Structure 1
Amino acid sequence: MSVLQVRALSADTWPAFAQLAEANNGVWGGCWCMGFHVKLGKGRTAEQNRADKQHLVREGRAHAALVFEGAQCVGWCQFGSPEELPEIKSRRRYDAGRTTLPDWRITCFFTGRGRRRGGVAGTALSGALAEIARRGGGVVEGYPEETDDRTVPGSYLHTGPMAAFEHHGFTRTRPISPHRWVVTRTVDPR
């Protein structure tokens, strides 16, 4: 495997992002990584999600650290402010334990077929944290899945595996579902 490199999601990198999403059914059946931007449900189509995501990227209101192997995007980690990413899974438990909002949220990961367990998610998380530092840093929240000793399908790990967050210095703050936690870390500005 060649060296993995990280580039920010932008209008320039959109074609590579879109190529990976399209090769994977729009990501989990057409989400296009919109599930934390808006409430997905009846009436929203994959085409609408794609168009809305592209619009947000063009406006600079959708952020991700894209992982490239050569010219090909092989995965990403989405991040943004709570205003940009207001939708949280397990909302009731999240709000019950919340005292303040973070400066940033890391909400989802995607790794292309055949690339899992190859360092893509960890590289994407490192890239997201570097971009957050470049944008001023602050308190960062993530919502990873604790796998413990159980085998977890990749679709359940869309918010990332706990081990990756702990490896990057995040601390468990509180559980919000049987296997999902709020984790936090402060990132210094660069």
Structure 2
Amino acid sequence: MSDYTIKALTPETFDDFAALVERNKGMFASCWCTWFHPACAEKGQTAEGNRALKQRLVADGIAHAALVYDGDQAVAWAEYGSPDELPNIHHRKEYDATAERLPDYRVTCILVERGHRGQGLAAVALRGAVELIAQAGGGRVEGYPHDTAGVRKKNSSFLYNATRAMYEREGFTYDRPKGQGNCVMVREVAASTSVP
């Protein structure tokens, strides 16, 4: 894994992120990883509209992700942010009814480019997000992966936030179910000044 590097999604790295998304046809219905943002209240935007929205959110400092690089090319990412930045989680009504407290950060989407899957890059992306969160002061972090234990094999294209088992390997603990087949995983992340 030492050949991979992590960079934060910033205006300077946006073109690398855009190239990754474009190589993968805009991701999930040309979402451009905007679905979880409040500004994406109107679903069904065009790919161009979602791209412009994501670029504006990044420029405004209210869209965060850890980008995984193989050389000079971004090949995976993990989107993270505060609940205010990313309120549109799946099964929100159930989530709100069962939450004892909101996290400081949530990881909402992890994606690995098709040709790079099966190499552990989802874990690298999650680790990168945790490291960037630590540099930002740390706090309680939640993820909402798929709980695939006992389920027949699921196509990796539909695992938009990886699996419970991977989160457990990365130090997260199970909190509760969320929706059908997903769960809430939590981890307390200490503040750090190290660079990923």
Identify the TM-score tier after normalising by the shorter chain: over 0.9
Corresponding residue for residue 117 of structure 2? 116
| Whole-Å separation in 2 of the counterparts to 1:179 and 1:68 | 30
| Whole-Å separation in 2 of the counterparts to 1:142 and 1:182 | 6
Corresponding residue for residue 61 of structure 1? 62
Unaligned runs of 5+ in 1: none
| Whole-Å separation in 2 of the counterparts to 1:104 and 1:131 | 11
What TM-score does the superposition give when structure 2 sets the normalisation length?
A: 0.92
| Whole-Å separation in 2 of the counterparts to 1:101 and 1:134 | 20
Deviation by residue 1:139-184 (Cα, 9 ceiling, x = unmatched):
0010000122421122321022112210111111110123100111
1:55-134 matched pairs, under 5 angstroms: 55-134=56-135
How far residue 99 of structure 1 moved from its aligned partner, in angstroms, is 1.7
| Whole-Å separation in 2 of the counterparts to 1:117 and 1:83 | 33
Q: Determine whether 1:41 maps to 2:43.
A: yes
| Whole-Å separation in 1 of the counterparts to 2:122 and 2:114 | 13
Count the aligned residue pairs: 189
| Whole-Å separation in 2 of the counterparts to 1:35 and 1:170 | 24
| Whole-Å separation in 2 of the counterparts to 1:135 and 1:158 | 24
Identical amino acids, percent of aligned pairs: 46
How far residue 124 of structure 1 moved from its aligned partner, in angstroms, is 0.5
- Look up the equivalent residue of 1:151 and give its one-letter code: K
| Whole-Å separation in 2 of the counterparts to 1:159 and 1:71 | 24
Q: Determine whether 1:162 maps to 2:128.
A: no
Q: Structure 1's 21 and 40: CA in aligned 2 closer, same or farther, altered over 3 A? A: farther
Deviation by residue 1:37-83 (Cα, 9 ceiling, x = unmatched):
134524x1111110000001111111000000001110100000011
1:28, 1:155 within 8 Å by CA — same for their partners in 2?
Answer: no
What TM-score does the superposition give when structure 1 sets the normalisation length?
A: 0.95
Corresponding residue for residue 8 of structure 2? 8
| Whole-Å separation in 1 of the counterparts to 2:65 and 2:89 | 17
How far residue 36 of structure 1 moved from its aligned partner, in angstroms, is 0.6
Deviation by residue 1:18-53 (Cα, 9 ceiling, x = unmatched):
0010111111120000111134524x1111110000
Q: Determine whether 1:146 maps to 2:140.
A: no
Deviation by residue 1:99-158 (Cα, 9 ceiling, x = unmatched):
211100000011112111111111111110000000000000100001224211223210
| Whole-Å separation in 2 of the counterparts to 1:9 and 1:181 | 26
- Look up the equivalent residue of 1:140 and give its one-letter code: V
Given the alignment, which residue of 188, 192, 195 partners 1:186?
188
| Whole-Å separation in 2 of the counterparts to 1:143 and 1:59 | 25
